[in-house]
């Protein structure tokens, strides 16, 4: 399929460059935004906590990557109901509405996966439906936490619920649990998207640290959805350390992969 460099270039453009650390502050988010200005183009988005949306927006505007008169070159994604996936629909909806009001282009909401494990499917339906409404015309990505669901049947059931209730993307993981994105879970989500017939994207998050890792996911998606589907409108990687690995691949350098959750 794709050469490694071609895959690295694709993956860079599909990245949600992520910082979701407990010690994040304005300075770390400004530094994250500055990393988006690479010799090989910018990632699709930054993904940050809601408290830093305004900081990221200002920094990216100063860099000429937002409010340029064309579609935003770097979008702002944030997280809600994160990371535990609680069943409080009102709170998740309120957080999502506030994130949109603050300027988020995309919201990654955690599905109530613990309730799903315990046999409660209605909480998931209610929460995704409410957050879909709260998002308005912004992109809604639903984090299924596949590494905690574990059972392929449960993963597919959660995916189908999210699709039925208006998700724009299915996302594997928060990056905050022991098992995050896997190719096995990705195949289940991509197959659910294909079977739905809806124009929905896929995001792999957590543990993707090398160009080889990224290429494996791109190859899998191409096999299920077709090469033409592989655009930032349909495919994202949630990652941080991956960016340096991709840039090294594109410039023929050798660096050690990152070891953090993203």
What tens digit of pLDDT does each residue of 93-142 get? 999 999 999 999 999 999 999 999 999 999 999 999 999 999 999 999 99
Residue 192, phi then psi, degrees to nearest 5:
-65, -40
User: What tens digit of pLDDT does each residue of 28-85 get?
Assistant: 999 999 999 999 999 999 999 999 999 999 999 999 999 876 557 999 999 999 999 9
Domain that holds residue 136: 4-251
Instruction: Provide the number of structural domains found in the chain.
Output: 1
Here the tokens at position 10 are 């694709």
pLDDT, position 257:
47
Asked if the structure places residue 150 within a domain, the reply is yes
d(CA 45, CA 169): 14
- The catalytic residues are 108, 171, 203
Helix pair 242-250, 4-13: axis angle to 10 deg? 140
Q: What is the CATH number of the domain that holds 80?
A: 3.20.20.70
d(CA 168, CA 181): 18
Asked if the structure places residue 193 within a domain, the reply is yes
Beta-bridge mates of residue 84: none
Asked if the structure places residue 48 within a domain, the reply is yes
Q: How far is CA 202 from CA 1, 39, 66, 133, 205, in A?
A: 20, 26, 24, 20, 10
Asked if the structure places residue 259 within a domain, the reply is no
pLDDT, position 253:
58
d(CA 47, CA 8): 20
d(CA 2, CA 260): 27
Strands 75-80 and 169-171: unpaired
Mean of all residue pLDDT scores within the chain: 95
User: What predicted TM-score, i.e. pTM, was given to this entire model?
Assistant: 0.94
Rg (Cα) of the chain, in Å, rounded? 17
Asked if the structure places residue 80 within a domain, the reply is yes
Asked if the structure places residue 190 within a domain, the reply is yes
Asked if the structure places residue 42 within a domain, the reply is yes
Asked if the structure places residue 218 within a domain, the reply is yes
């Amino acid at each position: 399929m794709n050469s490694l460099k071609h895959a690295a270039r694709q993956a860079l453009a599909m990245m949600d460059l992520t910082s979701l650390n407990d010690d994040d502050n304005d300075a770390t988010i400004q530094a994250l935004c500055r990393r988006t200005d690479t010799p090989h183009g910018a990632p699709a988005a930054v993904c940050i906590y809601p408290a830093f949306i305004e900081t990221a927006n200002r920094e990216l505007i100063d860099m000429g990557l937002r409010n340029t008169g064309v579609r935003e070159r770097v979008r702002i994604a944030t997280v809600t109901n994160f990371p535990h996936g609680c069943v409080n629909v009102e709170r998740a909806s309120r957080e999502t509405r506030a994130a949109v009001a603050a300027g988020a282009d995309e919201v990654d909401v955690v599905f109530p996966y613990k309730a799903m494990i315990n046999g409660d499917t209605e909480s998931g339906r209610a929460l995704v439906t409410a957050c879909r409404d709260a998002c308005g015309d912004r992109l809604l990505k639903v984090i299924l936490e596949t590494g905690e669901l574990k059972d392929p049947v449960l993963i597919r059931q959660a995916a189908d619920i999210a699709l039925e209730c208006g998700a724009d993307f299915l996302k594997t993981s928060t990056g905050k649990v022991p098992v995050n994105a896997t190719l096995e879970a990705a195949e289940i989500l991509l197959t659910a998207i294909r079977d739905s017939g809806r124009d929905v994207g896929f995001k792999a998050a957590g543990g993707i640290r090398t160009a080889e890792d990224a290429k494996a996911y791109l190859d899998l998606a191409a096999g299920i959805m077709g090469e033409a589907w592989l655009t930032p409108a349909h495919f994202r990687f949630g990652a941080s350390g991956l960016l340096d690995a991709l840039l090294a691949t594109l410039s023929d350098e050798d660096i050690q992969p990152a070891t953090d959750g993203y």
